Structure 1
């Protein structure tokens, strides 16, 4: 049966959007514990930034949020991740459905280089097992590219290879591919780390435009970026003998201007990390 995919509305009521919450999440790779009882509310319709030094478990935590952690051999976890107050790890819940609702944009752009721009966007549907009629496909591609802030730059060359785009355009193409399936949550793992300043600004503009349409969780090492794009922030920290955990979380403005923990103040002010 052919189905259409609901797209987030630009005028959506944030009260009706999906939020995400972790409760006492711990994680292991084999016998090595990498996260310790991480509890964090990621408000609906807002951008939550995860900050902290390399190796403190931020990216592992992000992958736990859409069940990618379990794809790693020897990986294990404890705790709950709630989407609309329902645990995404409950028995019988299909990982593919979780990953459709909770999309992921990776650190480096990963479009299919020989596939056209249009087919790259539509490939997200195929990967998610969603069939869309031809009459809806073209409109869905346009809508997704518009949401990703890329339509005006590529509308006249949708049949050209995605690999011919610049790095920043490729990253926004990957965002469009994720948006095509109509996710409730979008996870972004250092999406600008491989981009130049101009491309970074464009991706950040896209994030700002998506705010209010869906919930975004972003890992970033750029403190200025965390301040620019997020409304909530969580500071992760680990040491050589203790797993990663959240030191402090709360509104971004407060975390940067008046943190409670002195370690947070040291990190956001560049005194370590």
Structure 2
């Protein structure tokens, strides 16, 4: 039987857990129910997000997709009125276990937000390395230079900025800033990367580059993406989950499975209506 635990802040900090093994990890949500105060936003949501793949979360606005995404690395806890029940398992271990520190979850499960948010006063180089200070990770100078290049290469930005690493990160274009934020997330070597509508504010050319970057990263880090763009979900994801909330009820997953099947032969009429643009 799945154990359901109520979660709310504050939480007791425990001793540091052993370092997590390298490489992409599977992520599994079990019976996640979430509230903001007395308002319930998710109802018993369960989903497995396989390692070495891209899982897309789709559905109309207000159905709990972004809340679910934030629960996956404990950002839900940042809201004072937030609470949840259920489990989030990273390779079988619950990230909400009281014996696990918040920083351990954030190190293993990174986040890229809808709007690019490089630190404007920092250079491109400093932006990439910023996460090391936040997580207390120590790297020598030679290691830092190597890490900056590695992350910018993986983020699809190295060729464009390699000769101006000391220029302000805020001086890049919107698409470049988003790739810089991806590189910054990769610097702490996460096993999962969460992306909340990362292309919604970008032009088609920048969107294509970000999508190519995601595909290249999928063998190195598990990716979970929230998107309202059905064409994007069909292009980039391996698996897909359709969220829906109706008539004031909390969000649920109507259907999930391989992306091709979700778009060509969905099992629920509501899924077919949504992916074919009949609502939402």
Normalised to the residue count of structure 1, the TM-score between the two structures is 0.94
Does 1:219 pair with 2:223? no
The secondary structure found in structure 2 opposite 1:157 is coil
How many residues are treated as equivalent by the alignment? 262
Shift of 1:113: 1.0
Does 1:80 pair with 2:111? no
Cα distance in 1, alignment partners of residues 107 and 221 from structure 2: 13
Q: Is the 1:187–1:217 Cα contact (8 Å) retained in structure 2?
A: yes
User: Equivalent residue for 2:58?
Assistant: 51
Gaps in structure 2 of 5+ consecutive residues: 1-18
Shift of 1:250: 0.1
Instruction: Flag the 1:6–1:201 CA change in 2: closer, same or farther, 3 A.
Output: farther
The secondary structure found in structure 1 opposite 2:250 is strand
Cα distance in 1, alignment partners of residues 248 and 62 from structure 2: 12
Shift of 1:6: 10
The secondary structure found in structure 2 opposite 1:183 is coil
Cα distance in 2, alignment partners of residues 34 and 244 from structure 1: 6
Instruction: Flag the 1:7–1:167 CA change in 2: closer, same or farther, 3 A.
Output: farther
Q: Is the 2:20–2:108 Cα contact (8 Å) retained in structure 1?
A: no
Q: Deviations 1:60-115 (Å, cap 9, x if unpaired)?
A: 00000000001101100000000010100011210111001000000000001121
User: Equivalent residue for 1:13?
Assistant: none
User: Equivalent residue for 1:25?
Assistant: 32
Q: Is the 1:7–1:180 Cα contact (8 Å) retained in structure 2?
A: no
Shift of 1:227: 0.5
Shift of 1:17: 3.1
2:141 to 112, 119, 134: 134
Cα distance in 1, alignment partners of residues 150 and 239 from structure 2: 28
Shift of 1:7: 11
User: Equivalent residue for 1:192?
Assistant: 199
User: Equivalent residue for 1:207?
Assistant: 214
Cα distance in 1, alignment partners of residues 117 and 21 from structure 2: 23
Runs of 4+ in structure 1 off by over 3 angstroms are 5-8
Cα distance in 2, alignment partners of residues 107 and 261 from structure 1: 29
Gaps in structure 1 of 5+ consecutive residues: 9-15
The secondary structure found in structure 2 opposite 1:270 is coil
Q: Deviations 1:212-253 (Å, cap 9, x if unpaired)?
A: 111000000000000011000000000132100000000000
User: Equivalent residue for 1:39?
Assistant: 46
Does 1:268 pair with 2:275? yes
The secondary structure found in structure 1 opposite 2:165 is coil
The secondary structure found in structure 2 opposite 1:163 is helix
**What is the root-mean-square deviation in Å for CA atoms of aligned residues?**
1.4
Does 1:68 pair with 2:75? yes
Q: Is the 2:24–2:192 Cα contact (8 Å) retained in structure 1?
A: no
